[in-house]
Amino acid sequence: MKIHNFSAGPCILPQEVFKEASESLLNFDNLGLSVIEISHRSKSFVAVMDEAVALTKELLNVPDTHEVIFLQGGASMQFAMVAYNLLTKNGKAQYLDTGAWASKAFKEADGLGQAEVIASSKSSNYNYIPKDYVIDEGADYFHCTSNNTIYGTQIKNFPNTRVPVVCDMSSDIFSRTIDVNAFDLIYAGAQKNLGPAGATLVIVRKSALGNSGRYIPTMLDYNTHISKGSMFNTPPVFSVYVSMLTLRWLKSNGGVEAISKRNDEKANLLYQEIDRNSLFVGTAAAEDRSTMNACFLLKDEASHKEYFDQLINNSKISGINGHRSVGGYRASMYNAMDLDSVQALVACMQDLEKNYS
């Protein structure tokens, strides 16, 4: 019986990607060697890195003004790298606080120079995206997090500003069309829509770099990695390889525009049931609901949790529990999830209402 994997990350990836990746662990590129034991500077792996970069540019329509690199350290490393590279000695950075990861990103910048939170939804447990805020046109950059996995919110419209915009897109990169030219820097951990944990995608405007006026540690300098084609040190070869395979899969399935329609269909199906079902309630403001992560609660957990958990277990639904900090349930519906998995979850919700309300 199929397991329906709603895990928030590391998460579901396409089965055909897993199959090809597993075969390459034993014999990659007909070398008789594993992809994880060949030199990262070999012709075979350089081709992998080049293709991963090329597919990223193609699928996201990355303009020539921007560079694409694959790094390590996850989005958490980017919290510091962004500040080191873009925050000038006498300047300031502005942050939109929409959740735990946005808050951590601000903390790194605040420890390095002048940073401020210009709007926050913390007082409402991050259940909405602030909208009535003004970005200081003198700021070095404005930072936001496009999708908040813990709280199930997502920015639908990015600010129109002359200030350089930096965005953490770890949990919704490649899930919807974006205008890359509207951002000076985009970063994303791989472990949602891209590949296994280990690699971090960075898309950065070339002209945004080299202006900080500060010493930047070599490994934290984007120009270091750009100049070496993401291979200043040994890259996370397996994560980059699987990311490349996932990007191939995405392209073969119609690209970002096609997957966006599929993601909308899945999310709409689940949110309609949350709103219709008398036993459940959503936690995020309706206009800010995430397409990737739907968070919801049982209205009467004491009466219904045991039965609902039994239903989802019997249906082979995995990874549905909410983040430990908020509880409830969280259905993460990343690119590789099929509609039938969402249908299985909706069926459980309907069964609960029918038999236990």
Q: Report pLDDT for 276.
A: 98
CATH of the domain at 287: 3.90.1150.10
| Predicted TM-score (pTM) of this structure | 0.97
Residues 170 and 302 in one domain: no
Residues 38 and 132 in one domain: yes
CATH, residue 174: 3.40.640.10
In this prediction, residue 334 carries a pLDDT of 98
The domain boundary, picked from 225, 252, 279, lies at: 252
Whether 3 is covered by a domain: the verdict is no
Asked whether residue 2 is assigned to any structural domain, the reply reads no
Strand duo 280-282 + 200-205: pairing:
unpaired
Answer whether residue 76 is part of any domain: yes
Is residue 232 situated within a structural domain?
yes
Of 192, 221, 249, 266, which one is the catalytic site residue?
A: 192
- Asked whether residue 200 falls in the same domain as residue 337, the answer is no
End position of a domain, from candidates 252, 275, 290: 252
Residue 153 zone, left/alpha/beta (φ > 0; ψ -120 to 50; rest) = beta
Structure tokens at 230: 């993401």
Q: Is 192 a catalytic residue?
A: yes
284 occurs within a structural domain: yes
pLDDT tens, residue order, the chain (357 aa): 799 999 999 999 999 999 999 999 999 999 999 999 999 999 999 999 999 999 999 999 999 999 999 999 999 999 999 999 999 999 999 999 999 999 999 999 999 999 999 999 999 999 999 999 999 999 999 999 999 999 999 999 999 999 999 999 999 999 999 999 999 999 999 999 999 999 999 999 999 999 999 999 999 999 999 999 999 999 999 999 999 999 999 999 999 999 999 999 999 999 999 999 999 999 999 999 999 999 999 999 999 999 999 999 999 999 999 998 899 999 999 999 999 999 999 999 999 999 987
**Angstrom distance (rounded) from CA 145 to CA 125:** 16
Active-site residue identified among 97, 101, 172, 288 = 101
Catalytically annotated residue among 97, 140, 168, 172 = 168
pLDDT given for residue 1 in this prediction = 76
Residues 179 and 321 occupy one common structural domain: no
Considering only CA atoms, give the Rg of the chain.
21
123 with 219, same domain: the answer is yes
Same domain, 295 and 180: no
CB-based contact 148:172 (threshold 8 Å): no
Q: Are residues 51 and 19 in the same domain?
A: yes
Instruction: Provide the number of structural domains found in the chain.
Output: 2
User: 119 forms bridges with which residues in the sheet?
Assistant: 96
Residue 1: inside a domain = no
Task: Let me know whether 315 and 169 are in one domain.
Answer: no
DSSP alpha helix (H) spans, the chain: 15-24, 43-60, 74-86, 100-112, 222-227, 237-252, 255-276, 301-314, 339-356
* 347 residue type, one letter: A
Identify the pLDDT of residue 356.
87
On whether residue 274 sits in a domain, the answer given is yes
150 found inside a domain: yes
Q: Tell me, yes or no, if 64 is annotated catalytic.
A: no
CB-hemisphere CA count at 13 Å for 43? 3
Tokens 């038999």 sit at which residue? 355
Same domain, 71 and 200: yes
C-alpha distances in Å from residue 85, one per residue of 65, 69, 173: 17, 15, 22
Same domain, 118 and 185: yes
Do both 245 and 285 map to the same domain? no
Domain C-terminal end among 203, 219, 252: 252
pLDDT at 169: 98
- Domain around 270: 255-356
Please tell me whether residues 171 and 49 are part of one structural domain.
Answer: yes
pLDDT at 255: 98
pLDDT for the residue 33: 96
Q: Is 92 assigned a catalytic role? A: no
